[in-house]
Structure 1
Amino acid sequence: MKKVLKLILALFIIVNIMAMFHAYKFTHFSTSVKQRTDANNIGFLDKIGMLFTGVSLPRPETKIVPKVPFTTIHLKSNVIIDAWQMQTARKSKGTIILFHGYGGEKSNMLDRAYVLLDMGYDVMLPDFMGASKSEGNQCTIGYKEAENVKTCVNYIQQKGIKNIYLLGTSMGAAAVMRAEYLEPLPVKGIILECPFGTMRQTVRNRFEMMHMPYFPLGDMLTFWGGVENGFNAFSHNPETYAGKIQAPTLLLFGEKDDRVKRFEIENIYRNLPCIKTLKTFPLSGHESYLNDYKNEWMETVEKFLDVCK
């Protein structure tokens, strides 16, 4: 019996150590790795090593620049963050700040930015902490990135701009929601693209995508991801943050999304106490909705922004 208990204890310790390694690499980008590791192109021993120590993720780097005039600014947040600013050629209706998703950087939001510029809005595209030109290598899936959101809003507000709007996709949406949850922001409207409902559920979704059982490694991964980054990951829940959002909110979702479930979106929408609109795109996954629904996205967003004035 003692041998069995010792074996169980040993396995428990080993699995926790594995979870610690995986959680750290999931939340800390590497500057020494230039591209994601393809498990199909490595040897058996390397695969075993990846199983125990996790996969190093390359730091997101900006490879393209805007095709329109832009300026680069640096803002002091919890780290120094880098951002682009672009001005519309028309009479400005306000400024929209666009926040990218996990593993991304500011250029991922250029497709939306160009459309918004054409609508008559100035835009700001920041890199979150740990991404591209911003400092650090840490990524907390929207938790600490909320401070970056607040920093950007404060900067635009201090310039005397009153019509400020936020657009966040995936992790960027979670960061926007947490920022608004912590302190009401002086914004006219918020656009949320495919935010996850809870941290625990988003980890579960990733396990499902890999055809792996969630329990017990999933909860261990969530636990250690929080511990290693200084917060309780089980409490990082945008569906809870939704309950304190006061600004009019447009919630967007792709019905083929395999990283966010429909019920997560429904929970968020139900919890929003503000003026709200839900728009779904039947054939879109976890991606930019401009890929397949550019005109529909434009019409939906423009109508929403007009109402928010």
Structure 2
Amino acid sequence: MSRPPASWPRRLLLTALLLALLVNVVAFNHAWRFTHFSTEPGGHTAAPEQLSVAGKLWVLATGIRNPRPVNRGQPSFAYQTLHIPSANGLLESWFGPVPNARGTVALFHGYTSDKSRLLREAAYFRRLGYSILLTDFAGNGGSAGTRITVGYREAYDVAAVAQWLQRRQPHTPLVFYGVSMGAVAILRAESELGVRPTANIIECPYGSMLQTARNRFRAMHLPAFPFAHLLVFWGGVQNGFWAFDLRADAYARRIRTPTLLMWGTQDRRVTRTETDAIFAGLRGPKQRQFFSGSGHEPYWRQHPQLWEKKIVQFFNR
């Protein structure tokens, strides 16, 4: 006797389960590629807003290209190459001391970047009379490792750098300068790891891991739900932490360090709402500066005089 055909409810349930499985497989692959560097040839996938429709569909299906960042230049000033132990492995740093320094500025780069991208900023801090320490986060540039957690584990690298500097220069003022992911790592290091610098200069930190994932999908004109949530969930699972708690706005509420927060008004990766929440949360003396027309990029490119002036004003206060 022939088997009766499956009912429509059963077929719909099976289809829904298969679709859910497919979406999770795709999200798992995306999360892995976002948080693990590869040795594949070619450059990093272009920004979402720069992709064609076909390019967006390809990235959605296969994930981003995420080759390991490589330092493309070296300091023009005298420096030493150091290797600082961290919980994530050995970190490669460039230390550029100046005579009779007013303090030391430790610089931390952003996602899929490296310390050579901050040479312009480092040179300016030296002109102001500060020694500098540029560091590759674990997995980036000359440092050990292959993964990146967009600020969570990078906070341990910030703590390692602070410990190294404070042992070497116990009575020297220490300023943190961080961009995007580097800024979030700084905030987590202070909020949850007990790091205590003299001051912070942070540029375009995102409000939360979930929100930055939402912003990315919206930049591709794709629905943020449920893809952003699945991306954050699997990224945390793969790297051993609850990524929904990676929140710079929450970290800010436990920070009393004097802080300068900067943001570009055309930033599609970090919203004004996120920036406002972080600034409102900071408990210590604080200043902020907006850069009209700038996106998720170094602000000195479009506004060199304003960027330098604001830093000088912050230091003087």
Quote the residue 2:283 is aligned against. Answer: 273
The superposition leaves residues 52-93 of structure 1 with CA deviations (integer Å, 9 ceiling, x where unpaired) of 3312311000011111111100011021110101123x5310
Amino acid at match of 1:12: A
1:249 is aligned to 2:259:
yes
Quote the residue 2:298 is aligned against. Answer: 288
1:237 is aligned to 2:247:
yes
Quote the residue 1:140 is aligned against. Answer: 149
User: 2: CA distance between counterparts of 1:17 and 1:83?
Assistant: 37
What SS does the corresponding residue of 2:37 show, helix, strand or coil? coil
Gaps of 5+ in 1: none
1:59 is aligned to 2:85:
no
Q: Check conservation: 1:72, 1:84, Cα contact below 8 A.
A: yes
Out of 202, 206, 212, the position equivalent to 1:202 is: 212
Provide closer, same or farther for how the CA distance between residues 50 and 248 of structure 1 changes in structure 2, counting only shifts above 3 A.
closer
Gaps of 5+ in 2: 1-8
User: 2: CA distance between counterparts of 1:51 and 1:177?
Assistant: 31
User: 2: CA distance between counterparts of 1:168 and 1:41?
Assistant: 28
Q: Check conservation: 1:165, 1:189, Cα contact below 8 A.
A: yes
User: 2: CA distance between counterparts of 1:47 and 1:183?
Assistant: 38
Quote the residue 1:25 is aligned against. Answer: 33
User: 2: CA distance between counterparts of 1:189 and 1:278?
Assistant: 13
Larger radius of gyration: 2
Q: CA deviation at 1:41?
A: 11
The superposition leaves residues 212-253 of structure 1 with CA deviations (integer Å, 9 ceiling, x where unpaired) of 111111111111011111111111000000011111010011
TM-score relative to the length of structure 1: 0.94
What SS does the corresponding residue of 1:244 show, helix, strand or coil? coil
What SS does the corresponding residue of 2:262 show, helix, strand or coil? strand
Q: CA deviation at 1:131?
A: 0.2
User: 2: CA distance between counterparts of 1:276 and 1:199?
Assistant: 23
User: 2: CA distance between counterparts of 1:169 and 1:37?
Assistant: 20
What SS does the corresponding residue of 1:2 show, helix, strand or coil? helix
Q: CA deviation at 1:99?
A: 0.3
User: 1: CA distance between counterparts of 2:127 and 2:30?
Assistant: 43
Q: Check conservation: 2:294, 2:302, Cα contact below 8 A.
A: yes
User: 2: CA distance between counterparts of 1:201 and 1:73?
Assistant: 35
Provide closer, same or farther for how the CA distance between residues 273 and 34 of structure 1 changes in structure 2, counting only shifts above 3 A.
same
Aligned residues: percent identity? 38
The superposition leaves residues 263-304 of structure 1 with CA deviations (integer Å, 9 ceiling, x where unpaired) of 100000111111111111112111111101111111111121
What value does the CA root-mean-square deviation take over the aligned residues?
A: 1.9
The superposition leaves residues 20-48 of structure 1 with CA deviations (integer Å, 9 ceiling, x where unpaired) of 00100011111233423569999x8x987
Amino acid at match of 2:151: G
Equivalent runs, 1:118-267 vs 2, <5 Å:
118-161=127-170, 162-267=172-277
Out of 33, 39, 44, the position equivalent to 1:36 is: 44
What SS does the corresponding residue of 1:141 show, helix, strand or coil? coil
Out of 11, 15, 34, the position equivalent to 1:7 is: 15
TM-score relative to the length of structure 2: 0.92
User: 1: CA distance between counterparts of 2:211 and 2:169?
Assistant: 40
Aligned residues: 304
Q: CA deviation at 1:262?
A: 0.3
User: 2: CA distance between counterparts of 1:51 and 1:237?
Assistant: 25
Q: Check conservation: 1:184, 1:245, Cα contact below 8 A.
A: no
Provide closer, same or farther for how the CA distance between residues 184 and 210 of structure 1 changes in structure 2, counting only shifts above 3 A.
same
Q: Check conservation: 2:178, 2:201, Cα contact below 8 A.
A: yes
Provide closer, same or farther for how the CA distance between residues 22 and 275 of structure 1 changes in structure 2, counting only shifts above 3 A.
same
Provide closer, same or farther for how the CA distance between residues 215 and 185 of structure 1 changes in structure 2, counting only shifts above 3 A.
same
What SS does the corresponding residue of 2:302 show, helix, strand or coil? helix
User: 2: CA distance between counterparts of 1:36 and 1:276?
Assistant: 35
| Deviant stretches of 4+, over 6 Å | 38-42, 46-49
Amino acid at match of 2:200: I
User: 2: CA distance between counterparts of 1:129 and 1:306?
Assistant: 33
